[in-house]
Amino acid sequence: GNSVTQMEGPVTLSEEAFLTINCTYTATGYPSLFWYVQYPGEGLQLLLKATKADDKGSNKGFEATYRKETTSFHLEKGSVQVSDSAVYFCALRDNYGQNFVFGPGTRLSVLP
Amino acid sequence: KAGVTQTPRYLIKTRGQQVTLSCSPISGHRSVSWYQQTPGQGLQFLFEYFSETQRNKGNFPGRFSGRQFSNSRSEMNVSTLELGDSALYLCASSLRGVVAGELFFGEGSRLTVL
């Protein structure tokens, strides 16, 4: 079946540090890939997405590139802020009619 | 426009009781899906409704059920509650369904079973 693996953290960084959260997936066909973010006490919000190989999703300084050869979709940001503290979920949607599959989430804490 | 609204936000029940959670999707969205979020299992798909029909179902026991009304509002019900049902239940709506569209999540209903 489809699955998503991501580093579980927690990840603790100082403000302005470089962020990488690894995400790899297993899926049949050509899934669409997503990063969602969950701030404390809130639901999940879509951060960025990519629907085909080599696509790069970007939003709010975050980027992730769909790498089919390594089945990865790593999230990066060049300079994190305290306000980026949240839980980040990597997810895939199998375009053959399956539902969304989410990774376990990675908690990020950014210290001032 | 208004986002996905879930009620109640917090509730406490005892084992053996039942609970009903409500979700109002974004106006115009016809798909509503439900997820259970726990620290140990992460986000797990419960079911999806589209135009009042259940289109997809996750691997949960029959104690978990749902329905969708003609106005796209959805409810999920859990009967004979167990301690392990304590979780954050998230509802997500989508314009065209889970297969084709993006998910927009509500803030969740946090259920505690004592």
Burial of residue B73, with CB atoms counted within 10 A of its CB: 0-12 exposed, 13-18 middle, 19 or more buried: middle
* pLDDT at position A57 over 70: yes
For the record, the structure tokens of B15 come out as 């084992």
Most confident region among A43-52, A89-98, B60-69, B95-104 by mean pLDDT: B60-69
Give the per-residue pLDDT at B15: 97
* pLDDT at position B100 over 60: no
Please list, in sequence order, all residues whose beta carbon lies within 8 angstroms of the beta carbon of residue B40, skipping any fewer than 6 positions away. Answer: none
Give the per-residue pLDDT at B101: 65
pLDDT tens by residue, A87-108: 999 999 877 656 788 999 999 9
pLDDT averaged over every residue in chain B:
92
Among the partner-chain residues A43, A95, A102, the one whose CB lies closest to the CB of B106 is A43
Partners of B48 on chain A (C-beta within 8 Å) are 99
Give the per-residue pLDDT at A30: 83
Which residue intervals of chain A are DSSP H helices?
none
Phi, psi of A84 (to 5 degrees): -85, -5
A99–B48 CB contact, under 8 Å: yes
B58–A99 CB contact, under 8 Å: yes
Give the per-residue pLDDT at B70: 95
Residue A9 confidence class, pLDDT cut points 50, 70, 90:
confident
Partners of A45 on chain B (C-beta within 8 Å) are 105
Phi, psi of B23 (to 5 degrees): -140, 125
% of chain B surpassing 90 pLDDT: 75
B42–A104 CB contact, under 8 Å: yes
A93–B108 CB contact, under 8 Å: no
pLDDT tens by residue, B50-82: 999 998 888 999 999 999 999 999 999 999 999
pLDDT averaged over every residue in chain A:
92
Among the partner-chain residues A42, A44, A97, the one whose CB lies closest to the CB of B99 is A97
SS3 call for A83:
helix
pLDDT tens by residue, B39-51: 888 899 999 999 9
Mean pLDDT along residues A20-43: 91
Residue A8 confidence class, pLDDT cut points 50, 70, 90:
confident
* pLDDT at position B88 over 60: yes
- DSSP letters of A45-61? EEEEEE-STT-EEEETT
CA distance A5 to A70: 13
% of chain A surpassing 90 pLDDT: 76
CA distance A81 to B104: 24
* pLDDT at position A66 over 80: yes
A105–B43 CB contact, under 8 Å: yes
- Residue pair B22/B9 in contact (Cβ under 8 Å)? The answer is no
- DSSP letters of B50-111? ETTEEEEE-S--TTEEEEE-TTS-EEEEE-S--GGG-EEEEEEEESS-TTTS--EE---EEE
Phi, psi of B28 (to 5 degrees): 95, -15
